[in-house]
Amino acid sequence: MTILDELGSLEHNELVGDELWLARLRLPRIAAAATPGQFLQIRVGGGPAPLLRLPLSVAGADPDTGCVEVVYARVGPKTTDFACSRPGARLSCLGPLGNGFQSSGGTVRAALLVGGGVGTPPLLFLGRRLLEAGWTVTLLAGARTAGKHLPAALLAAAGTRCRQATDDGSLGHSGLVTDLLAEELAGQPRAVVFACGPAPMLKAVARRCQTGGVPCQVSLEEYMACGIGICMGCVVPVLPDHGPTDYGRYQRVCLRGPVFDAAAVDWGSHG
């Protein structure tokens, strides 16, 4: 895997929800190389702080325009710096990093994409690519409230169908996005599940898929400080059949992931 260090131009940076932002960067080399599930490490701020880059999943990449899209929630100093960046700003980006989703080699051409909160953005990229390849795609998006959902137009472009859930019942299904997954699997047991979101959600998705014998890939949301496998800050426990690794029973999410076969993760110790 080739890691590129590219100085990009910020083309667009817009508030699209309750502290949810969509940014578009002109990064021609990264846009040509990125695949769904990979991420960037973006240098934000103009001074020595923050020292670490901001890791963000690729929400879209267009080789024709040379642009890469990311979606982020404004929650701390780095994301605040990014939200304050204006079009024309020059930002150093490392990427594309990590291993993404695998969608080739099987006979099943139906996908269920399960996103929780800010775990939905990488699934937008995946959904569009699967649709281009002729898949039937159902996007299931969950969030705490209606304001934490991405705009309907963004979601609709990533699936043949889109269903939404909110914890407080303010939009779509009142309850968990895993409720929607259970309904979909009952009517479409021959599907491949791709999921990204908080660890408890991924654990529930993985267990439901294991019970039903459904293939499942998960993108883990561990915080990646260095993004290139040096700091060991993003390790996740894996089962013995998928190790041992160079670090005992742990895998580095930034290097070996962020996408894993759900059956490889030791959910008893994670999530």
User: Structural domains in the chain?
Assistant: 4-97 (2.40.30.10), 111-219 (3.40.50.80)
CB atoms within 10 A of CB 4: 17
3-state secondary structure of 110: strand
Tens of pLDDT, residue by residue over 171-211, are 999 999 999 999 999 988 789 999 999 999 999 999 999 99
Report the alpha-carbon angle 58-173-215, nearest 5. Answer: 50
Give residue 34's pLDDT. Answer: 97
Separation in Å, CA 36 to CA 70, 76, 151? 12, 26, 20
Can you give the pTM of this predicted structure?
Answer: 0.95
Q: Is the pLDDT of residue 267 over 70?
A: yes
Give residue 48's pLDDT. Answer: 66
Gyration radius of the chain's alpha carbons: 18
- Percentage of the chain surpassing pLDDT 90? 79
3-state secondary structure of 200: helix
Label the pairing between strands 235-237 and 250-252. antiparallel
